[in-house]
Structure 1
């Protein structure tokens, strides 16, 4: 029995398993704490100012215990004709606005609670309630200034302050304290707007009360320093927050900067720039795996971030230009079991918000890369300066500028598509499969019985020669149950069993046991 238990389970462990949630807010709050922590009064004012009638309240898993008190408090403050809906178990990452679930209740606005990636929304107005984590501005400024002076980094002309969104409420106090301790430095930061406007309406300016809004993705540190005339060598980035994806993305996208982080929980400051090279080398390995892939799956990881549809179209275009095959797949929150069903796909590119784009693919069968990494992988020459981009809009803008500045000619294509390619992963030459080429006339050899065919409306048989999935199916030992249409005689209809599972009417086991 012990050996059997090793390979099988009754499922009881899944039901009794304890899930650890990183919750920094007590599960029980008083009315005053609830008001202050979740900005009840400001939320009510924004709903009334926007004249929203159906409002969706989106909560991450760690804040679900507070959803009922918040719902009741908001309901008591708003007019009776306004309807509120609680959203949980988001379609994709909890940091993204779940516009799909909000549309199911026909909401005209959404209130997002907890940590947010602040990505530009595409359809609904969003009110952000970020929560407020405790931080001591005086100790934070002292720790930063002492660390900078000890490492002689205080000689930098420009200091760029970045922080986790939960510490935005103390950002101004930290800046004031830093200016007192570092008077010779210019301290820059991008304020966070707690109201997000849909991309299309923001351009048209159709909602005055939501105009002139921005988010954390609006300007990057490099753009700030460029506007101030400073270079990465003359600048340093200070980050307030613990170890998280936001810090990882900051290190990747600003590899040429010195980055110092202050963790309010441990009250410690440390230099983070030393991790940058390791992170970039790990991502460079994923780029080389994507370069060897002939079949690429475009994994849709968001339906609410603006520009995700143009980005998917752009990815399809560059994959086709590289003579590779692409499939667009949406599976909600990706996990190894879901993606394991697509064995013909050799690499996935994840279209998600910046904080969910980087997945640790150790448990997955296929590598998962970002859109920028795929662009680097599909370049004719293997060049990468260490620059990294995660923002959708920036990728599309650079692509558009490249098309305007470069004349695309057919003779730019490589002359020999069958030339072997050297793989840095295997250390060997390989012949890449080529998809999307010119259609060749069918020959007698093509009319083989194993070819996958499709009959169109005119009754003509069409060969699916450019289908990677069909080719993969032909190489599998098991291809599903054979239908054998027209080969076997039809079976006769027989009377089936009747009754319940524990004792069918025609079950004679009891009679045989009694006889024996």
Structure 2
């Protein structure tokens, strides 16, 4: 019987073969020049030399690993030709992606292990602002039939009642032809205002504002070439959005964050268009059900899903403060790339909050035993009134900005003071029953004292060698509820055993085994 998902063997991890499926839209290179042009080798080498970078980390998603060695060789050759073999910068290929397959920012930590001063990310990227070091993006140049794309998108626009504003979005792999597409669309639809924001090919940490964030998938609509687009998010002036690309997490996030706008997509592989907006309601309904599960939770785990996205540390601090004010217990956990086996080890946690880049924030896998929500969904779940307008936010900076501008809600202690019965049962829409919420922290928390007079969730064992039950520790409460709490010491209860010669050899045949 093979090992289950919750008990994998170490040998299986080492010997497991990784199935790499190359991108179907990646061209079949007929020459080295086509390969160099697709991966923009000359541009990458030029930016490295001009930036005086000395140690460069190259990152590839799984589907581009088959091209990592040729890219390394071509780039190394160009750098040696420009700077000389002895003065050429050193190149390193990052071995894995710790958190998400599209997130180059999480590998900033891996890049720091070799003292790299630059990351060159190949393939799709979430385009979140870097936290520690600059990143050069090489998206690749996927093929696109511009004429067919423009004609079918123009047909979608013409079928509507002359929309006020149209915004063009696309997968990052079509950045090289986006300018051509926008010019053709404006020529084909002279009476329609079409807005577009270019995707940068390089992101640098701000020296003055280390937590400043570049335009994300939400904020990009507000920064256009035709104007400032200040009313991009007005409820009464929602733009019609055109998206070029196939099924992806980027498209899903676009539908979630702009549920009130109509979104038409063009798939370059199938050369077909379709209305995507109908999916947004179903996506929001599923997320709303997850929010209701979070409302029933009293113990939360804050999952650190990124170590490179700017503002992730202030956001974690904000979540801790938010949970503390609501008298919820929180644990901060860094587990790397998520899987059900890792999270199943934290049985006392009732709901997880994932702090990750926008394209890795939505987790809807049914394999996880406990619900996983985004920071925005947590804010909704902790509100006293169950109200959700359909607005959805994934950007860290926008979440923090809205929190700074809003009027602070009354704390849990204030609500309890105004309430006649602080232990009043709460109705759960998931179970259909009333429940009594557990409260942690606060001035009246009955926490035991340790040496020094400060409260702590970790105390010494008592006279019976058992862990004392703590009213403010969810982990200790869960441990007391378990039938097995670890091996018993039984000090002074058992007589010492006589020393004997043990077995020698390996398990399949010890040296002193008796033949049957």
| TM > 0.5 fold call | yes
CA contact (8 A) 1:297 1:345 kept: yes
1:446 maps to which residue? none
Using the TM superposition, give the Cα deviation of residue 360 of structure 1 relative to its aligned residue in structure 2, in angstroms: 1.4
3-state DSSP class of the match of 1:328? strand
C-alpha distance in 2 between matches for 1:223 and 1:194: 16
C-alpha distance in 2 between matches for 1:469 and 1:294: 12
1:118 aligns with 2:127: yes
Query: Pick from 76, 90, 93: which aligns with 1:83?
Result: 90
CA displacement 1:474-514 (0-9 Å, x = unmatched) = 111222222223333333433222345554432332xxx5x
CA contact (8 A) 2:20 2:62 kept: no
In structure 2, do the counterparts of structure 1 residues 407 and 68 end up closer, same or farther at CA, with 3 Å as the change threshold? closer
In structure 2, do the counterparts of structure 1 residues 39 and 383 end up closer, same or farther at CA, with 3 Å as the change threshold? same
User: Which stretch of structure 1 is more off in the superposition, 157-166 or 11-20?
Assistant: 11-20
In structure 2, do the counterparts of structure 1 residues 463 and 189 end up closer, same or farther at CA, with 3 Å as the change threshold? same
C-alpha distance in 2 between matches for 1:229 and 1:307: 25
In structure 2, do the counterparts of structure 1 residues 325 and 26 end up closer, same or farther at CA, with 3 Å as the change threshold? same
C-alpha distance in 1 between matches for 2:446 and 2:100: 47
1:238 maps to which residue? 242
CA contact (8 A) 2:300 2:331 kept: yes
CA contact (8 A) 1:120 1:198 kept: yes
User: Which stretch of structure 1 is more off in the superposition, 290-299 or 5-14?
Assistant: 5-14
1:366 aligns with 2:370: yes
CA displacement 1:455-490 (0-9 Å, x = unmatched) = 39xxxx986331101101111122222222333333
1:25 aligns with 2:26: yes
1:455 aligns with 2:482: no
1:128 aligns with 2:129: no
1:169 aligns with 2:176: yes
CA contact (8 A) 1:58 1:87 kept: yes
2:191 maps to which residue? 184
2:435 maps to which residue? 430
2:472 maps to which residue? 466
Using the TM superposition, give the Cα deviation of residue 218 of structure 1 relative to its aligned residue in structure 2, in angstroms: 7.8
C-alpha distance in 2 between matches for 1:307 and 1:486: 54
C-alpha distance in 2 between matches for 1:294 and 1:406: 21
CA contact (8 A) 1:195 1:213 kept: no
C-alpha distance in 2 between matches for 1:441 and 1:378: 24
2:50 maps to which residue? 49
CA contact (8 A) 1:193 1:215 kept: no
Using the TM superposition, give the Cα deviation of residue 24 of structure 1 relative to its aligned residue in structure 2, in angstroms: 3.0
3-state DSSP class of the match of 1:133? coil
C-alpha distance in 1 between matches for 2:194 and 2:167: 6
3-state DSSP class of the match of 1:434? coil
In structure 2, do the counterparts of structure 1 residues 426 and 463 end up closer, same or farther at CA, with 3 Å as the change threshold? closer
C-alpha distance in 2 between matches for 1:418 and 1:164: 51
C-alpha distance in 1 between matches for 2:404 and 2:8: 54
1:142 maps to which residue? 151
CA contact (8 A) 2:298 2:437 kept: yes
3-state DSSP class of the match of 1:57? strand
3-state DSSP class of the match of 1:159? strand
3-state DSSP class of the match of 1:388? coil
In structure 2, do the counterparts of structure 1 residues 160 and 92 end up closer, same or farther at CA, with 3 Å as the change threshold? same
C-alpha distance in 1 between matches for 2:471 and 2:12: 47
2:483 maps to which residue? 477
C-alpha distance in 2 between matches for 1:165 and 1:9: 36
3-state DSSP class of the match of 1:466? coil
2:511 maps to which residue? 505
In structure 2, do the counterparts of structure 1 residues 471 and 234 end up closer, same or farther at CA, with 3 Å as the change threshold? closer
In structure 2, do the counterparts of structure 1 residues 409 and 117 end up closer, same or farther at CA, with 3 Å as the change threshold? closer
CA contact (8 A) 2:344 2:369 kept: yes
Using the TM superposition, give the Cα deviation of residue 35 of structure 1 relative to its aligned residue in structure 2, in angstroms: 1.0
Stretches of structure 2 lacking an aligned partner (at least 5 in a row): 449-456, 462-466
In structure 2, do the counterparts of structure 1 residues 294 and 132 end up closer, same or farther at CA, with 3 Å as the change threshold? same
CA contact (8 A) 1:454 1:463 kept: no
CA displacement 1:400-438 (0-9 Å, x = unmatched) = 122xx5486787433343111111111111101111133
In structure 2, do the counterparts of structure 1 residues 192 and 220 end up closer, same or farther at CA, with 3 Å as the change threshold? closer
In structure 2, do the counterparts of structure 1 residues 507 and 466 end up closer, same or farther at CA, with 3 Å as the change threshold? same
2:314 maps to which residue? 310
1:193 aligns with 2:194: no
Compute the RMSD of aligned alpha carbons. Answer: 3.0
Q: TM-score, normalised by structure 1?
A: 0.86
Using the TM superposition, give the Cα deviation of residue 6 of structure 1 relative to its aligned residue in structure 2, in angstroms: 11
3-state DSSP class of the match of 1:220? helix
3-state DSSP class of the match of 1:160? strand
2:452 maps to which residue? none
C-alpha distance in 1 between matches for 2:8 and 2:218: 50
In structure 2, do the counterparts of structure 1 residues 453 and 387 end up closer, same or farther at CA, with 3 Å as the change threshold? closer
Q: TM-score, normalised by structure 2?
A: 0.86
